[in-house]
Structure 1
């Protein structure tokens, strides 16, 4: 039996449903309410598929390719850092918003499903918390259910994002997005440094 509270808190931290809201607002400025709902549902569905995939075969793939988990952590941190930079320095121009129209699927997949929800940290957590030699099949199934419950919470928050948007407006969404970018950049650097430290400590 797993520690449900500890696993939930861990996945809530790495998936960060609350932090996904400003990301969702920032990348869906050019869409109407119907398109936003579609994007939220698609993003949650794709993120769930990606994370379940890593639960099922992530460890097998990394082992087959002879890739240590620490290397995966460092690479994931670098990808997260690049995405954070795009949040900080990206421009919110009308032309960019117009280019988003009709591209709901692309927006749902990137950056919402990956790497906002199914972030490198979440993928790593999915692998680490379901290691075959540490957890049996039933415990892995329990962990997967907890993980999916966090994704559902993120989906609910994204569906409510339009309501939140009425209070903060485009300017507020832009500010929040850049602040979250700074936080994500810090988390990314921390992940890379922690991975490098552990790697050389082996």
Structure 2
């Protein structure tokens, strides 16, 4: 096992995907739902993220080249999508389209682009280029798995917090999450614009 590569993969993806920072957003998006639905959303979001990450690890470069999509364009699209969700949370309209289908919360925005966003996708694609044998493959794969286990644990154990803070607390967390999410979205778009100006797009 290549422990140095494993540590590098885990730490990099942990910082980018931020399991702790996901908790307030998860609580705001699952507020008002039953515990069973929230738990289902947690593992579905992690499953979606894991599937997206694995797909881009194996076929990411080919997918982007086939569709003629640059990485900055992907990052900008993810940022704009997150910004729409953030505006819904900030303006109190999260009870609308987000709440109509339980699976929607797990797929978008939790699974992607919040967890499996452009940053995590690009990082995974870079790490996958370092694989030239089973040892490196095992290190990258285990790093990705451990990060997703951390994400699931963070969301799974946020549910007792949800029961404790009740409706008024969820409203406060929702507004804070919307603010944080909007900042993340704007930063993603700004990084994409900077990359376009630098000629990387």
TM-score by length of 1: 0.80
Shift of 1:92: 5.6
Q: 1:199 — aligned with what?
A: 196
Q: Could you tell me how far apart the structure 1 residues matched to 2:163 and 2:180 are?
A: 24
Q: 1:178 matched to which residue of 2?
A: 175
* Change in CA separation of 1:90 and 1:78 when aligned onto 2, cut-off 3 Å: same
1:113 aligns with 2:111: yes
Provide the rounded CA distance (Å) in 2 between the counterparts of 1:121 and 1:60: 18
After TM superposition, the score normalised by the length of structure 2 is 0.81
Q: Is the 8 A contact 1:80 1:120 kept in 2?
A: no
Runs (5+) with no aligned partner, structure 1: none
Shift of 1:112: 2.1
The Cα shift of 1:52 comes to 0.9
1:128 and 2:126 matched: yes
Contact 2:6–2:142 under 8 Å retained in 1: no
- TM superposition shift of 1:71: 2.6
Could you tell me whether the CA contact under 8 Å between 2:76 and 2:193 is conserved in 1? Answer: yes
- State the Cα RMSD in Å: 2.6
- For residues 1-202 of structure 1, the aligned pairs below 5 Å read 1=2, 2-91=4-93, 100=100, 103-130=101-128, 132=129, 134-136=130-132, 138=134, 139-202=136-199
Separation of aligned partners in 1, 2:120 and 2:187: 15
Structure 2: any 5+ residue segments left out of the alignment? none
